Amino acid sequence: MTDQASTPVSAAKKLFIKTYGCQMNVYDSQRMAEAMGAEGYVLTENQSEADMVLLNTCHIREKAAEKLYSDLGRLKPLKAERPDLKIGVAGCVAQAEGAEIQRRMPIVDLVVGPQAYHRLPAMARAGRGVDTEFPAEDKFEHLPKPAATRRAPAAFLTVQEGCDKFCAFCVVPYTRGAEVSRPVDRILREAHDLVSRGVREITLLGQNVNGWHGEGPSLEGQGGEWGFGRLIRAMAEIDGLDRIRYTTSHPNDMADDLIEAHRSEPKLMPYLHLPVQSGSNRILKAMNRKHTVDQYLRLIDRIREARPDILLTSDFIVGFPGETDQDHRDTLDLVARVNFGTAFSFKYSPRPGTPAYDRPEVDTDLADARLQELQALLSSQQKAVQESMVGREVSVLFEKPGRNEGQMVGKSDYLHAVFVEAPQAKVGDLVRVRITHSAANSLAGELVA
């Protein structure tokens, strides 16, 4: 017998992860995959061959939460066929519903909240459990150190979690808990590690990322309280890191030093997602957003003064309880005044446990009609902004091969997807591109010699 035949092929256990919701969940899924990697699990794209299926869930709107239960329903036959398949539910539905998930769906073995997922490996070993605590220890410090494998050129890095803003419609303060900023040294250490593994662009993440603050390192007089703008400047000093982005921001936390960073820091990309939710002062007040339309517009003016070409995006909720036709027209008016590069708009979804939950709802057909009207205006702006890129030169970081032979696709400074004929190029190249064409949700361009 040859060596090869006598050695049993050590079948690594396979982990399938499905991620719903925001970028913070994308980051968390990556960290959970790394944590389970230390337990001998490798990722698979194929759910039917998995030894463990992990659903990392979102609770933001009713539809998002209900997706979990339809996916679990579809997993029943697989679990019946292979009873030792482990099924885990992580993320914000896990936090909001806890053990209720197992009562409703007994096929679920593990329920783990977003602040407790460093305990997932131990739970998986134990076989069954629920953990939705907000532990005192820092989960990031209790996760195994990621293997030094190569990473894609653009990565996420969570620097802040949770939210203390309590907008009247929103579950995040309950599912993610109070606002916590990660310390400077740990963020910079993680950024250096990412760069050493091939990352050239980092998006700093937080539910209120621009509210991040922390104690600076007590070296060379850099100590004292740092705001988010200072953190960005420290990130920009990292050799090999070419691009910095951040999301999501609250208008009230847009400090002067952050606006200044948009003026003076070339590595900070000219793109800002700044949700406003509504263009009506009455509704903003009912939403507990704690700013007015005028304050938002003046802020946009200051940001554009610092970085005239910045691409602005936002989130809107239509049909919030009490919204009148006039409130809706005020929202359309705000959109017309700002001119967004793109924006997300949602029909209000009442969420149990939030202050607005019991308020009388807007007629659903009316809300649908308003949503359509708003989306039509936003898409016409998106189209115009994209078309204004044609003829301009931008930088593009190649992230993967395109659909056609010899084609690459990457993101421009303004986060547009750009397709480029570049047969000699590789993933991770940062190139100059002249935009030649604007399509529905992407641009096309050619390499600049």
Binding site for ligand SAH (CB under 6 A): 60-61, 169-170, 172, 207-208, 248, 250, 275, 277, 315, 317, 346, 348-349, 351
Give min distance, CB of 268 to ligand F3S, in A.
24
What is the full DSSP assignment across 139-181?
Answer: GGGGSPPPP-----SEEEEE-EE--S---TT--HHHHT-S-EE
Q: Do 53 and 85 form a contact (C-beta atoms < 8 A)?
A: yes
Nearer to ligand SAH, 41 or 174 (CB): 174
Give min distance, CB of 157 to ligand SAH, in A.
17
Q: Do 72 and 55 form a contact (C-beta atoms < 8 A)?
A: yes
Which one of ligand SAH, ligand SF4, ligand F3S, none is in contact with 331 (Cβ closer than 5 to 8 A by kind)? Answer: none
Nearer to ligand F3S, 27 or 421 (CB): 27
What residues make contact with ligand SF4 under the rule CB under 6 A?
163, 165-167, 170, 172-173, 207-208, 250
For residue 265, the tally of other CB atoms under 10 A from its CB is 16
Give min distance, CB of 134 to ligand SF4, in A.
16
Max alpha carbon distance in the chain (Å)? 82
162 is an interface residue for ligand F3S by CB under 6 A: no
Structure token pair of residue 189: 């250490």
Helices (H), 197-292: 228-236, 256-264, 281-286
Nearer to ligand SF4, 120 or 172 (CB): 172
Give the span between the Cα atoms of 389 and 384, in whole angstroms: 9
Nearer to ligand SAH, 250 or 307 (CB): 250
In the shown chain, the binding pattern of residues 165 to 204 toward ligand F3S, with x for contact by CB under 6 A and - for none, equals ------xx--xx----------------------------
In the shown chain, the binding pattern of residues 79 to 108 toward ligand F3S, with x for contact by CB under 6 A and - for none, equals ------------xx----------------
Give the span between the Cα atoms of 235 and 226, in whole angstroms: 13
Nearer to ligand F3S, 159 or 172 (CB): 172
Q: H or E stretch including 397?
A: strand 393-401
Residues 40-79 that bind ligand F3S (CB under 6 A): 58-60
Is residue 328 exposed (0-12), middle (13-18) or buried (19+ Cβ within 10 Å)?
buried
Structure token pair of residue 160: 């802040």
Give min distance, CB of 28 to ligand F3S, in A.
9
Nearer to ligand SAH, 203 or 248 (CB): 248
Cα distances (angstroms) measured from residue 324 to each of 278, 282, 351, 354: 12, 10, 21, 21
Contact positions vs ligand F3S (CB under 6 A): 21-22, 24-25, 58-60, 91-92, 171-172, 175-176
